[in-house]
Amino acid sequence: MASTKRVCGKCNKGAGTAMCYGCEQAFCTKHFIEHRQELAQQMEYIGQEHDVLQRDLTHDHSKHALLTRINQWEQESLTKIQIAAQAARTTLQQLLNRPKNNLQVSISKVTEELQSSRELDDYTELDIKRWTDQLQEFRKILDCPIPVNLEYEKDSRSAIRLLKITEPQPLDTHYQTTQIHELSDWKTPVSDGNFAERFEDIFGKVTLSENGLVATCFGGHADRSCVGGTGRYSTGVHYTHFRIEQTSTHYHSFFGIINASEKMTYDIWNSTSFHGWWDLDYNVISGKSNRRLSPETIRMGDEVTLMLDCINRRMQLEHHRTNRTVNMPIDLQLCPFPWKIIVLLLGKDDCVRILH
């Protein structure tokens, strides 16, 4: 049988066509060269956007308005409050630098990918779209205003009011600021309540139903099937409620997070950004499993809530039937923002539902 010729996507001529496996169109020799030149121009634009983002990432916050007020307060209060002023500077600088520090690892990874792909001329429209989406997400994080308050101690007994730097909380009536030398490591989390999580990305043998609320495995343990959520988390506190609709007696389901820029693969559970729980006494930190000898807790019909606390860089799993909660701090050098929820389903017919 004679093979069907592919016509050029621009001039509709069929002779001597070449195939682009990115956009899946055929081109004649002339228009294939033009097509690659267009991609090169798009790549150049991506490079410029990347360079601008890198420049802004190193922006100096030393002239921040609050630092000026701190310096004025220091002069007015003389040497008695110099120690408090320096503590306020340090706290403020840490808050202002937090988004940049959180993005450093992710930006470095994209930098390496862009440099390698440009040098090898190895990229397609799919790669450009992925890099564009990543840079746009990083830009949103970097440009997000940092909520910071400058407050003074309300102590009528003191001749000099102590100064403090605080982060505003969503529910001010339940949060009391602390003097800068007494700030606690974790702040009370309050959910933003504005996002409804759903399943979207899959790897392996998983089917999604009910508009992304239900994930069902039709494979086995050897497939290492997993599913990711639509959310990208880098600020605030977020709660996602799950119910285990079906689970096998031999394998656990996993609830946790990875860095959102990572692709879900067969070996995802070995990634340094892979954090979470197979069970309440069986956790994984940076791809390394830690298991205590205790009976399994999570079973079919149970409901669990995964809390992502981006403010304090930690997550929590709550098991409602036993009223048990387990916590895990997250090292941003290992799992940088933004985070993405990941669920692993290893048994045939294992099924998890997101509850809203």
**What does the pLDDT look like over 206-249, one tens digit per residue?**
999 999 999 999 999 999 999 999 999 998 899 999 999 999 86
Question: 46 in a domain, yes or no?
Answer: no
pLDDT tier at 173 (50, 70, 90 boundaries)?
very low
Q: How far apart are CA 110 and CA 97, in angstroms?
A: 20
pLDDT tier at 3 (50, 70, 90 boundaries)?
low
Report, as an integer, the average pLDDT of 6-12: 83
- Range in 168-177, 251-260, 262-271, 299-308 with the lowest mean pLDDT: 168-177
Higher pLDDT, 182 or 69: 69
Note whether 149 and 219 are same-domain residues.
no
Question: 217 in a domain, yes or no?
Answer: yes
Which residue, 195, 345, 209, 210, is CA-closest to 268?
A: 345
Task: Look at residue 203 and tell me whether its pLDDT is greater than 90.
Answer: yes
Task: Look at residue 265 and tell me whether its pLDDT is greater than 70.
Answer: yes
- DSSP, collapsed to helix, strand or coil, labels residue 196 as coil
Note whether 215 and 323 are same-domain residues.
yes
The pLDDT of residue 156 is 56
Task: Look at residue 194 and tell me whether its pLDDT is greater than 70.
Answer: no
Note whether 259 and 335 are same-domain residues.
yes
Question: 176 in a domain, yes or no?
Answer: no
Question: 78 in a domain, yes or no?
Answer: yes
Residue 28: CA atoms inside 13 Å, Cβ hemisphere, count?
10
Report, as an integer, the average pLDDT of 108-122: 89
The pLDDT of residue 311 is 86
Task: Look at residue 179 and tell me whether its pLDDT is greater than 80.
Answer: no
Note whether 144 and 96 are same-domain residues.
yes
Decide: 234 and 310 in contact? Cβ < 8 Å.
yes
H helix intervals, the chain: 29-57, 65-77, 82-120, 125-143
Note whether 123 and 236 are same-domain residues.
no
Q: How far apart are CA 269 and CA 344, in angstroms?
A: 9
Decide: 151 and 65 in contact? Cβ < 8 Å.
no
Backbone angles phi, psi at 198, to 5 degrees: -145, 160
Note whether 159 and 207 are same-domain residues.
no
The pLDDT of residue 172 is 33
Q: How far apart are CA 43 and CA 132, in angstroms?
A: 10
Note whether 162 and 204 are same-domain residues.
no
Report, as an integer, the average pLDDT of 55-67: 75
Task: Look at residue 13 and tell me whether its pLDDT is greater than 70.
Answer: yes
Question: 51 in a domain, yes or no?
Answer: no
pLDDT tier at 4 (50, 70, 90 boundaries)?
low
Q: Considering only CA atoms, give the Rg of the chain.
A: 26
Number of folded domains in the chain?
A: 2
Note whether 302 and 224 are same-domain residues.
yes
Highest mean pLDDT among 30-34, 97-101, 182-186, 254-258: 254-258
Q: How many CB atoms lie within 10 A of CB 72?
A: 10
Question: 23 in a domain, yes or no?
Answer: no
Domain harbouring 243, CATH code: 2.60.120.920
Question: 67 in a domain, yes or no?
Answer: no
- DSSP, collapsed to helix, strand or coil, labels residue 114 as helix
How buried is 322 (Cβ within 10 angstroms: 0-12 exposed, 13-18 middle, 19+ buried)? exposed
Eight-state DSSP code of residue 270: G
Note whether 254 and 137 are same-domain residues.
no
Instruction: Look up the pTM and report it.
Output: 0.52
Note whether 209 and 347 are same-domain residues.
yes
Higher pLDDT, 175 or 95: 95
- Range in 20-24, 78-82, 135-139 with the lowest mean pLDDT: 78-82
Report, as an integer, the average pLDDT of 31-52: 92
**In this structure, what token pair is assigned to residue 112?**
């390496």
Contacts of residue 356, Cβ cutoff 8 Å, sequence gap at least 6 = 196, 213, 241
Report, as an integer, the average pLDDT of 180-186: 32
Contacts of residue 155, Cβ cutoff 8 Å, sequence gap at least 6 = 161, 162
Question: 54 in a domain, yes or no?
Answer: no
Note whether 324 and 282 are same-domain residues.
yes
Report, as an integer, the average pLDDT of 59-84: 74
What is the average pLDDT value for the chain, to the nearest integer? 83
Note whether 208 and 249 are same-domain residues.
yes
Beta strands in the chain (DSSP E): 17-20, 25-28, 149-152, 163-166, 199-203, 206-209, 214-217, 226-229, 237-246, 253-259, 275-279, 282-285, 288-291, 303-309, 314-319, 324-329, 339-345, 351-355
Task: Look at residue 253 and tell me whether its pLDDT is greater than 50.
Answer: yes
pLDDT tier at 181 (50, 70, 90 boundaries)?
very low
The boundaries of the domain holding residue 232 are 199-355
